[in-house]
Amino acid sequence: MSRLTVDPSGTHLRLGEAFFPLIMDTAWSSFADPSEEEWRSYLATRRRQGFTCVAVSVLPILHDRDERAGSRDPFALDAVGHPDFDRPDEGYFAQAREFTRIAHEEYDLRLLLVVLWNNYVPGTWAAARTPYAVMADKHRRAYVERVARTFGDLEPIFAVGGDDNYRVPEANAAYLEAAAQLRDVAPSCLLTTHSAPHADLPDDLAGALDFFCHQSGHDARNVDLTWQQAAPYLARSPRKPLLAAEPAYEQHGRVNGHGRWTRDDVRRASWTSVLAGAAAGIGYGAHGMWMWHSPSARFTSGGSSLEPYPWQVALGFPGALDISLMARLFTDHRLYRLTPAQDLLADRAGDGVEGGVEGSGADEPGAGEVLRLGASPDRDLVVLYLPYSRDAEVLVDLRVHRLTGWDLAERAPLTVDPVFGDGRTRLRQLPSLGDQLVVAERTA
């Protein structure tokens, strides 16, 4: 495979000289649970659907996984079933390397490997749940060295941390040291980190990374984070690519809410993230696929997450095809050019107050369901997301743009009905029953 790099603009990744949209599925426990045949079947499906990347945790996510017979462990287990970090399992790392090679070379899917999920570093919220898994400094350094040498020549993306808020100095020091180790031993691999909702990424760690991944997550109170969290990352200098790596997983329980996140919810979260400027790509997850759930296994985080579906069922969730369409539009329109442009909405319907209380994130009708507008700085590209059918007015005369519309729920094209005048464009209501996207791209 060609080498992944960051474009000099800081807006997106490139594979060789071509734009590489990071369309990322989530299959955290892929090194621990599936057979090689299952892994190949999974990769073939996601590649066919237009995904370009898969997120995998090198180590098990100990507080949030399937407990089942036959799972592989990266370290020998002691008498009570805890990892013995002095005894790495060579076979585990050899198979993990082979799975990475298969993904890269046979299916053209890049892996993003989380190196230190926050169970394994001191002082974090997950370390409090699994204190036996916190690595001593010597063990952590030896393990990071092993990761760099096992995978480095295959050039995955390394995420130094997983699901952390980055507010614990001792943990942050461990991530920063790991980033330096990875950069030293595997200099051709891009570095990022996987953040929890409301994370505060410290400047020194941010400076060590090539691009950023934010997470709005699965809590019903956080629906507005899909667009709110992009702003502080976009304000950093120098500019670095940004994507929402973990919007709500399809059919995951609505934490602090009711029911499960639907494909419609996931699609709304995905598009509002991209139009808020997290335009280097998008993450997706299917509840049951990310932990390779088996009905014979015990999922450790049922509770508000709710019971997962068997992985074979989750792999077929319809929301993945919504991401397929998004992947196509990323490439066709070079969506990495987008920055938030809510000021171009005439009626300010995107200010977060329509149908609910601004910023409430509540589980009430209409919360978070607002128009979102993104545009390139030169206005050559303007993209509008409408969560339901309605008129909208944009403060740009788009008559020299090619206008295309999409019924996103049906994944079907729509004919846009514009009215031009006074430097504005009114987009009359289109007859579809779900959310819609209007793409305006300058032709002259």
pLDDT of 398 > 80? The answer is: yes
pLDDT at 366 (0 to 100):
39
- Examine the fold and report which residue of 322, 337, 352 is the final residue of a domain before the chain moves on: 337
Residue 299's pLDDT band, with cuts at 50, 70 and 90, is: very high
pLDDT at 348 (0 to 100):
60
* Helix residue ranges per DSSP H, 102-191: 125-129, 137-151, 169-185
One domain for residues 221 and 293: yes
One domain for residues 326 and 414: no
Q: What is the largest CA-CA distance in the chain?
A: 76
pLDDT at 19 (0 to 100):
97
pLDDT at 349 (0 to 100):
47
16 pairs with which residues across the strands? none
- Examine the fold and report which residue of 299, 318, 337 is the final residue of a domain before the chain moves on: 337
Q: Which of 166, 245, 244 is nearest to 206 (CA)?
A: 166
One domain for residues 304 and 371: no
The mean per-residue pLDDT over the stretch 412-435 comes to 96
One domain for residues 68 and 140: yes
pLDDT at 356 (0 to 100):
32
Are 205 and 179 in contact, with CB atoms under 8 Å apart? yes
One domain for residues 318 and 355: no
The mean per-residue pLDDT over the stretch 411-423 comes to 96
* Helix residue ranges per DSSP H, 193-253: 203-207, 225-228, 230-234
| pLDDT tens figures, 82-100 | 999 999 999 999 999 999 9
Q: How far is CA 138 from the centre of its chain?
A: 31
3-state secondary structure of 210: coil
Q: Which structural domain range is residue 404 located in?
A: 341-442
**Among 51-55, 114-118, 230-234, 348-352, which stretch is predicted with the lowest mean pLDDT?**
348-352
Higher pLDDT, 367 or 128: 128
Q: Where are the beta strands (DSSP E) in 198-312?
A: 212-214, 242-244, 281-284, 298-299
One domain for residues 57 and 21: yes
One domain for residues 49 and 131: yes
| pLDDT tens figures, 9-57 | 999 999 999 999 999 999 999 999 999 999 999 999 999 999 999 999 9
| pLDDT tens figures, 244-295 | 999 999 999 999 999 999 999 999 999 999 999 999 999 999 999 999 999 9
DSSP H or E segment with residue 161: strand 157-164
Q: Which residue is listed with tokens 């169970």? A: 119
- How many CA atoms does the CB half-sphere of 144 hold within 13 Å? 29
CATH code at position 217: 3.20.20.80
Nearest 5°: the CA angle 74, 215, 404 is: 125
| pLDDT tens figures, 191-211 | 999 999 999 999 999 999 999
pLDDT at 436 (0 to 100):
98
One domain for residues 134 and 207: yes
pLDDT at 444 (0 to 100):
73
The mean per-residue pLDDT over the stretch 404-421 comes to 97
3-state secondary structure of 426: strand
Total of domains in the chain? 2
pLDDT at 132 (0 to 100):
97
| pLDDT tens figures, 349-371 | 444 433 333 333 334 333 335 79
State the chain's mean pLDDT as an integer. Answer: 94
pLDDT of 136 > 90? The answer is: yes
Residues 204, 419: Cα–Cα separation, whole Å: 49
- Examine the fold and report which residue of 294, 312, 337 is the final residue of a domain before the chain moves on: 337
Residue 1's pLDDT band, with cuts at 50, 70 and 90, is: low
One domain for residues 181 and 50: yes
> Model pTM?
0.94
pLDDT at 170 (0 to 100):
98
One domain for residues 170 and 62: yes
DSSP conformation letters of 347-394 = T-TTSS-TTS-TT---SSTTTT---EEEE-TTSSEEEEEESSS--EEE
Residues 252, 128: Cα–Cα separation, whole Å: 24
**Among 135-144, 153-162, 309-318, 341-350, which stretch is predicted with the lowest mean pLDDT?**
341-350
The pair of structure tokens assigned to 228 is: 């709110």
The pair of structure tokens assigned to 203 is: 């400047």
One domain for residues 163 and 250: yes
One domain for residues 359 and 332: no
- B/e letters for 101-117, b = 16+ CB within 10 Å, e = fewer, are ebbbeebebbbbbbbbb
DSSP H or E segment with residue 438: strand 436-442
The mean per-residue pLDDT over the stretch 63-80 comes to 93
Residues 352, 418: Cα–Cα separation, whole Å: 25
